[in-house]
Copies of this chain bind each other. A is one copy, B any other.
Amino acid sequence: MYFNREFSIKDLNKYLTKSDILDLLHICDQALSIREEGELRKLITELKKLIPFDGFSYGLGTKNRDVLYFVDVDYSLEYLERYLEKGYIHIDPILDALVEERKVINWSDIDRIYDRHPEGIVNHEAKVFGLIDGYTYGGDDAEDLATFWFAGRYIERSKRSKAVIEFVVRALTRPLREMYERNKISDRQKLLSNREIEVLNWLKEGKSTWDISSILKISERTVKFHIGNIMKKLDAINRTHAVAIALRDGLIDPF
């Protein structure tokens, strides 16, 4: 994961009280054990004690801005759907700014540049949904970019807020990625039937068609039938490829 940093510990010392920093430490510590969205939601509530904002959402997208995962915590779901549906992600000047500057982005700063620009429409529509101002920050990987969006009717434009967001987002990025991975796995597992998963697990052990037919007490033909269906569903060329895909996507366990 790669983040650019604007603020140091010294800055935090300047902008935050002891109690603030303890809250921040608590969030960073709790982030280590987030396993599901509810836990993240709770942490966000705590964050609201530190900096004021109304809505929060976060997402994961590829380098060319295909959306892999997007969660509305207390943004406007209607706006988010509109945003994704209309492909605003591809022209959003805030994302442009984040990718280029790689720092915490305050929306108002972008507004001043884009106000008369055609892309201004994205910012304008956000305002209609009560997302008047906000902060966006995130970190990227070789493959994708994780982004965190803090918005509201009133956003405190200060170095303090930016610094807090910088630290919190760094701590929340890994949980986000892990939630996405788990999500993807459970989604894709529905593609394959229970029997197919079973067959796949025996293929992984190096069992032949005949082996599996006698393990499962079905005919060799049926085993081949299942493997054929698995290959179709996973777009695999052969059983080796199918097992590699299933392992890669977490459809079966490596052990």
Q: How large is the interface on A (under 10, 10 to 19, 20 to 34, 35 or more residues)?
A: 35 or more
Give the dominant DSSP class at A's interface: helix
Tell which of B3, B21, B237 touches A21, judged by Cβ atoms closer than 8 Å.
B21
Complexed CA–CA distance, A44 and B56 (Å): 35
Tell which of B1, B13, B29, B237 touches A167, judged by Cβ atoms closer than 8 Å.
B29
A177 at the interface (CB under 8 A from B): no
Determine if B205 and A32 form an interchain contact, defined as CB atoms under 8 angstroms apart.
Answer: no
0/1 per residue, A136-165, Cβ < 8 Å to B? 000000000000000000000000000000
A28 at the interface (CB under 8 A from B): yes
Determine if A21 and B25 form an interchain contact, defined as CB atoms under 8 angstroms apart.
Answer: yes
Determine if B13 and A241 form an interchain contact, defined as CB atoms under 8 angstroms apart.
Answer: no
A9: chain B residues within 8 A (beta carbon): 22-23, 25-26
Question: In angstroms, how far is the closest chain B Cβ from the Cβ of A159?
Answer: 16
Once A32-B171, A248-B255 are accepted as A-B contacts, the answer to whether A206 and B12 lie under 8 Å apart by CB is: no
